[in-house]
Amino acid sequence: MRLRRRVIQAGLVVVGLSLLAAPVTAQSVNRAAIDDLNEQLLYVALPLTLFVELTLVYVIYRFRNNDDPKPTVDDPALEVTWTAATGAILVFVGVSAFVVMANPYITPAAAEASADGDDAFTNDTEIDVLAYQWGWEFAYGEANVTTEERLVLPADKNVTFRLRTTDVIHAIYIPQLGVKQDIFPGRTMTARTHATEPGEYRLYCAEMCGAGHSKMDATVVVKNQSGYDAWMENQTTAAG
């Protein structure tokens, strides 16, 4: 009886601690979708882990002096139950993950392909990203503005990245905005985001691309619309 109470107490402590780890607000739509999925899966995984581990501890304790163990007899009802329960959990995990994968911010190529030849993202701010050994160049749509190692984005707007590489395979990776996409030679890849929090973030190359790979990073600056416009104006006059 005392053991049971301890086990229940331990379980409550674990659940309490997991609730304390309150999620911070996501910095982009992509990031929010990924964080939500993580949280959903955590709420499934946590009780399961607790159930399995506590059962294990209980069984070790309960049968520690059993010198004559007997094998379990067939129990079709039990077997059907655990097979069905496992199946249901796998379907839940699969469907949750698929919904996020199908999100047009996470997998924009799929959204574009299903748009029947129309440009699905016409109203997005378009930025051409050029990766090379070893650095990044960003060109801003119609505006005749190009930056190196510094990517400036408007907040609360859809942004489409057209990604190209001049040499080998690179990968754009902005963890805090939930953006990650391999860039293959000879192809234009697409990535997309919608940043919600102005601030500074890190951009990395996430594909081993030679001796300078570790130095192939950039700063991402998310500005609110007026800040972005002012910056763009500044860049244009500086260039002209």
Binding site for ligand CUA (CB under 6 A): 131, 170, 205, 207-209, 213, 216
Q: What is the token pair recorded at 19?
A: 């609730």
How do 150-154 and 217-223 pair as beta strands? parallel
Nearer to ligand CUA, 26 or 209 (CB): 209
Nearer to ligand CUA, 7 or 206 (CB): 206
Residues 205, 171: Cα–Cα separation, whole Å: 5
How many other CB atoms are there within 10 angstroms of residue 95's CB atom? Answer: 9
Nearer to ligand CUA, 132 or 231 (CB): 132
Residue at token pair 């982009």: 28
Nearer to ligand CUA, 182 or 197 (CB): 182
Nearer to ligand CUA, 170 or 194 (CB): 170
- Element housing 150 (H / E): strand 150-154
CB of 216 to ligand CUA, least distance (A): 4
Residues 119, 127: Cα–Cα separation, whole Å: 15
- For residue 223, the Cα-to-chain-centroid distance in whole angstroms is 22
3-state secondary structure of 171: strand
DSSP state of 177: G
CB of 207 to ligand CUA, least distance (A): 5
CB of 150 to ligand CUA, least distance (A): 17
Nearer to ligand CUA, 27 or 181 (CB): 181
C-beta of residue 133 within 8 angstroms of C-beta of residue 165: no
C-beta of residue 110 within 8 angstroms of C-beta of residue 197: no
CB of 136 to ligand CUA, least distance (A): 9
CB of 222 to ligand CUA, least distance (A): 23
CB of 49 to ligand CUA, least distance (A): 36
Beta bridge partners of 222: 153, 199
C-beta of residue 198 within 8 angstroms of C-beta of residue 155: yes
